[in-house]
């Protein structure tokens, strides 16, 4: 006997016995769940009486079995007895006679309302008071029932798979029922009895369960269950359950002809797949295309694994040889320069010790591979040779050592703090008072110098001794002022020298020094007369400089890129020119970059151990202050727009979303899709790109964060002048590729535009009074819409393109000195935090506080004769930005961009130059820290290249991990 379960109210069949009284249910519901029957208290009292009558029950069974052998009357008597037992369960009275015609009528009335048989359960309905009870089909064995209960605990399967499995189970059930009806299956006896407790007491019903016992349902009931099962199979084929929303009440659905299992409702197609037509979904649904963005599919690893397999880079022997030669030739000058600096300091150490350089034996410093060593003075990373104090471990890089020997140490300037005053919201839109105007004291052209006299005095007293040795600095600079700095190495002493010698030998053997430089090779973009060839339409005009042949940028299509196009790309890339690649998503799987899809995918990664990240940090482009915003509200404003209390567009941009640098963990589908769509994977592949120096760092070493990272921001087509959706002018230390993955246009109505124009005039009046000290507005300075046409020319038509997303301004490297001069002269005309004028600049580019509007770009060209490459980035375009090229971006629509950093061999010299430039910035500057460690990348890349070209070289750059 099964252990009694807790009593529960039975669940009624929908639409049946609605008028049944609660008391009747409570009497008829003693825990009949999954074929297990509880013992009532009265059963316990009469337990002994039931045992005494056990022999009588067996004899009654024999009589009942005999009735099956007789047709007609015997069968009718059996049906009457079954109806009597069922009725006794409702009102606890023994029914002596039942009219068989009533059974037929009641059964026919149930044909339209009876539920489908699920999992082997059949329903017995009684006549009196329309009571009913549910029993497990006794045809199934005990093991099968237990197995069914275990299956309920398993996670739910997709709808289509459940329907197929249920149809198979229904077919098996039907076969078992037919076998039982024909007497083909083996059966064990079982019985149900109605025993009176006494002469005048109510009868009780007891149901016992036996394995593999045939169903006792009447023939008519068995036929009805078979018909209902067949009906369910028909419904599964005509199901309207949408795979996306898992609902069947949204109207018409589109069935997939490819898999013939999935279907999508029209609302889901409109909302989640706006770029797919019904015909395309009917031919192959998103599941078949591996780009379904429902919750279940976004959690699947299958599409991610497929993309990762496709991303595996396999190079032939000839390709590896060609790329290795290219690397060797590009990196050799930088490695030789690095080695010369080390040998120069070693000669100085020999003079200090009074011996020959060949006799000097340097100590190898202890350094763990996952440790990043910095110079205590300039914060530049240390790769190999350096000086350290044996008493306090003060480290000094070779550049600082050289500057001390020459008597002009740099790189240790005191931190510069720029103060901005928050004057309130009204100030943002033009309101001024007399106290603000009185604050203006210095003329616009006066440069602001950092107050570093105290620290400069300390550094000026830090000089080398007469013999060339360098003492440890004073405590104010972090030293101990007691010991002498000793020259030490991080790799084996002569490892870099051997590397250079082998590299030069291989270059001579391969005649690499006689090969023409990449920049001097003839480019297919130019004709034999050195004129621009626009025949292939792979060029885009981006500037109008006089007497210049770089006004056009290389702009190939991703689907047209072949092996030979890599050389063409390298010719432009080696010159420091940006490259634009269009239609990068043509060959991708097509996963949606809709903001709500990204949010849904991101939320599925979180669990109880991590925060839900429903609030994100956004930056308001009007006052450049951070604020916490609900991510759902942020994305709503992304598509619909947001406005402040004065009806001025509120432009927000997300700061570092997804949080941290775990893009792959938070958004694995989008991470794989982004890497798969990138062109020129020799440079952009973050794991195995042969020409990406960031992949050359050894396993276990501390690697820089190269991305990818998302940049999500609002945007409008009109240039506001204040509060625009911009990335301010800056210069990256490494190369980068930026892909526009999604756009959403926020169109401003006529009444909104009128308000904006009125506020822009108030802003201009405020600038004239506060910055220029003028009482009246100079209408020539306020450009309005006319200036837009004048500056952009033909490119203004591209702003109205449906796929246009952002305006890029990229400056040439050779124009950087003039650009800095202009910005240093006019920096007070720009606004930054709290919408205040910029009070001072340390470096006008690296501070990232300035953005050149149309007006400033016009003045820049008039005063200095330079202009940037200006172009429109469209949806699906990848922009390659060379290291060392200052650039700025303005979003003309709400945009989602994904960017990845890489280090190319052509631009390593520029990366080193920027590293040396950043070390001169004051302490605490945003660009001060050398996180890239490009010199370390160069050495490891050269070591790998030399060992590949000459396996006998066996150069090793090993660190000393333990003392």
C-alpha 43/C-alpha 280 separation (Å) is: 66
C-alpha 525/C-alpha 292 separation (Å) is: 41
C-alpha 573/C-alpha 176 separation (Å) is: 74
SS3 214: coil
Tally of CB atoms within 10 A around 22? 8
Rounded to 10 degrees, the C-alpha dihedral 396/399/401/407 comes to -130
Q: CB–CB of 910/402 below 8 Å?
A: no
Q: Which of 600, 584, 793, 779 is nearest to 676 (CA)?
A: 584
C-alpha 712/C-alpha 719 separation (Å) is: 18
Q: 255 has which bridge partners?
A: 263
pLDDT of residue 538: 82
Q: CB–CB of 852/829 below 8 Å?
A: no
For 936, the token pair is 């370390």
> Pairing mode, if any, of strands 363-364 and 486-489?
parallel
Contacts of the segment 20-26: beta carbons below 8 A, 24+ positions apart: 20/129, 20/130, 20/131, 24/90, 24/91, 24/129, 24/131
Q: Do you know the residue count of the chain?
A: 963
C-alpha 330/C-alpha 507 separation (Å) is: 11
C-alpha 147/C-alpha 523 separation (Å) is: 72
Q: Which of 559, 562, 564 is nearest to 583 (CA)?
A: 559
Tally of CB atoms within 10 A around 906? 21
Q: Which of 415, 416, 418 is nearest to 827 (CA)?
A: 418
What is the 8-class DSSP label of residue 722? S
Sort 836 into a burial class: Cβ within 10 Å, 0-12 / 13-18 / 19+: buried
For 14, the token pair is 């929908």
Q: Which of 289, 236, 281, 290 is nearest to 263 (CA)?
A: 281
pLDDT of residue 52: 59
Q: What is the pTM of this model?
A: 0.73
> Pairing mode, if any, of strands 132-136 and 121-125?
antiparallel
Q: CB–CB of 903/934 below 8 Å?
A: yes
Give the H or E element holding residue 566: helix 565-574
Q: Which of 551, 550, 555 is nearest to 565 (CA)?
A: 555
* Low-confidence residues in the chain, pLDDT < 70: 1-237, 433-460, 516-522, 526-537, 563-564, 603-613, 659-661, 774-801, 963
Q: CB–CB of 256/282 below 8 Å?
A: yes
Q: Which of 446, 344, 431 is nearest to 385 (CA)?
A: 344
Give Cα separations from 757 to 148, 315, 425, 745, 829 (angstroms): 71, 57, 18, 20, 20
Give Cα separations from 856 to 401, 462, 827, 850 (angstroms): 42, 43, 11, 11
Cα 891 → chain centroid: 21
Q: CB–CB of 166/151 below 8 Å?
A: no
pLDDT of residue 100: 58
The runs of H, that is alpha helices, within 814-933 are 816-826, 854-864, 908-918
φ and ψ at 77, to 5 degrees? -65, -40
């Amino acid at each position: 006997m099964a252990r009694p379960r807790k009593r529960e109210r039975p669940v009624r069949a929908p639409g049946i016995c609605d008028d049944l009284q609660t008391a009747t249910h409570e009497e008829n519901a003693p825990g009949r769940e999954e074929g297990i029957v509880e013992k009532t208290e009265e059963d316990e009292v009469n337990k002994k009486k039931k045992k005494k009558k056990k022999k009588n029950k067996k004899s009654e069974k024999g009589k009942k079995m005999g009735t099956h052998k007789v047709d007609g009357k015997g069968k009718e008597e059996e049906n009457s007895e079954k109806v009597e037992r069922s009725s006794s369960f409702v009102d606890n009275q023994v029914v002596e006679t039942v009219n068989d015609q009533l059974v037929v009528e009641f059964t026919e009335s149930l044909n339209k309302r009876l539920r489908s048989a699920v999992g082997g359960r059949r329903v017995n309905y009684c006549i009196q008071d329309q009571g009913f009870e549910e029993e497990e089909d006794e045809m199934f064995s005990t093991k099968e029932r237990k197995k069914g209960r275990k299956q309920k605990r398993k996670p739910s399967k997709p709808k289509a798979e459940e329907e197929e499995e249920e149809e198979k189970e229904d077919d098996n059930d039907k076969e078992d029922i037919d076998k039982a009806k024909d007497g083909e299956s083996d059966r064990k006896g079982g019985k149900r009895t109605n025993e009176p407790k006494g002469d005048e007491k109510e009868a009780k019903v007891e149901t016992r369960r036996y394995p593999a016992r045939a169903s006792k349902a009447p023939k008519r009931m068995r036929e009805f269950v078979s018909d209902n099962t067949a009906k369910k199979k028909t419904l599964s084929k005509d199901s309207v359950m949408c795979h996306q929303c898992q609902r069947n009440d949204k109207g018409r659905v589109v069935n997939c002809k490819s898999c013939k299992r999935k279907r999508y409702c029209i609302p889901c197609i409109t909302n989640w797949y706006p770029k797919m037509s019904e015909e395309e979904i009917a031919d192959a649904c998103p599941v078949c295309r591996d780009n379904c963005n429902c919750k279940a599919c976004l959690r699947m690893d299958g599409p991610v694994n497929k993309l990762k397999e496709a991303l595996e880079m396999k190079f032939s022997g000839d390709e590896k040889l060609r790329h290795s030669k290219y690397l060797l030739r590009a990196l050799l000058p930088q490695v030789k320069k690095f080695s010369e600096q080390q040998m120069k300091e070693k000669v100085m150490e020999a003079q200090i010790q009074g011996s020959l350089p060949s006799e000097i034996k340097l100590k190898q410093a202890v350094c763990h591979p996952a440790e990043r060593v910095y110079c205590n003075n300039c914060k530049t990373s240390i790769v190999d040779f350096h000086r350290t104090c044996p008493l306090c471990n003060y480290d000094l890089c070779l550049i600082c050592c050289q500057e001390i020997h020459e008597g002009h140490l740099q790189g240790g300037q005191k931190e510069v703090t720029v103060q901005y005053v928050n004057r309130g919201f009204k100030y943002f839109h033009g309101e001024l008072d007399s106290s603000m105007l009185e604050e203006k004291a210095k003329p616009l052209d006066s440069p602001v110098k950092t107050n570093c006299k105290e620290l400069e005095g300390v550094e000026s007293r830090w000089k080398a001794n007469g013999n060339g040795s360098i003492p440890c600095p004073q405590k104010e600079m972090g030293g101990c002022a007691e010991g002498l700095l000793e020259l030490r190495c991080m790799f084996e002493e002569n490892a870099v020298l051997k590397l250079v010698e082998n590299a030069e030998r291989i270059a001579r053997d391969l005649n690499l020094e006689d090969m023409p430089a990449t920049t001097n090779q003839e480019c297919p973009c130019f004709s034999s007369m050195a004129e621009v060839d626009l025949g292939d339409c792979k060029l885009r005009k981006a500037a109008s400089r006089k007497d210049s042949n770089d006004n056009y940028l290389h702009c190939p299509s991703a689907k047209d890129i072949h092996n030979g196009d890599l050389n063409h790309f390298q010719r432009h890339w080696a010159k420091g020119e940006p490259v634009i690649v269009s239609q990068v998503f043509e060959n991708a799987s097509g996963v949606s970059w809709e903001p709500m899809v990204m949010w849904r995918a991101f939320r599925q990664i979180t669990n109880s151990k991590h925060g839900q990240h429903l609030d994100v940090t956004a930056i308001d482009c009007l006052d450049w202050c951070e604020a916490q915003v609900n991510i759902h509200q942020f994305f709503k404003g992304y598509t619909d727009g947001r406005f402040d209390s004065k009806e001025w567009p509120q432009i927000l941009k997300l700061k570092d979303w997804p949080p941290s640098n775990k893009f792959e963990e938070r958004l694995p589908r989008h991470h794989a899709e982004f890497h798969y769509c990138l062109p020129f994977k020799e440079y952009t592949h973050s794991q195995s790109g042969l020409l990406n120096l960031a992949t050359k760092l050894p396993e276990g070493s501390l690697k820089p964060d190269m991305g990818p990272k998302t940049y999500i921001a609002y945007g409008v087509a009109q240039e506001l002048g204040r509060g625009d959706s911009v990335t301010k002018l800056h210069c990256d230390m490494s190369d980068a590729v930026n892909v526009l993955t999604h756009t959403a246009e926020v169109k401003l109505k006529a009444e909104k535009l009128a308000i904006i124009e009125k506020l822009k005039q108030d802003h201009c009046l405020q600038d004239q009074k506060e910055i220029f000290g003028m009482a009246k507005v100079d209408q020539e300075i306020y450009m309005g819409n006319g200036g837009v046409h004048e500056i952009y020319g033909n490119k203004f038509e591209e702003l109205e393109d449906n796929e246009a997303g952002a305006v890029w301004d990229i400056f040439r490297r050779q124009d950087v000195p003039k650009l800095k001069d202009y910005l240093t002269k006019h920096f007070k005309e720009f606004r930054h935090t709290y919408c205040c004028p910029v009070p001072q600049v340390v470096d006008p580019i690296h501070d990232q506080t300035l953005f050149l509007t149309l007006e400033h770009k016009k003045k820049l060209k008039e005063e200095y004769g330079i202009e940037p490459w200006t172009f429109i980035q469209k949806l699906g375009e990848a922009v390659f930005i060379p290291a060392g090229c200052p650039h700025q971006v303005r979003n003309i629509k709400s945009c989602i961009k994904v960017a990845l950093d890489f280090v190319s061999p052509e631009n390593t010299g520029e990366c080193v130059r920027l590293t040396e430039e950043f070390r001169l910035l004051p302490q605490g500057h945003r660009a001060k820290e050398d996180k890239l460690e490009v010199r370390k990348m160069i050495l490891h890349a050269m070591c790998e290249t030399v060992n590949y070209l000459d396996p006998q070289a066996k150069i090793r750059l090993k660190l000393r991990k333990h003392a």
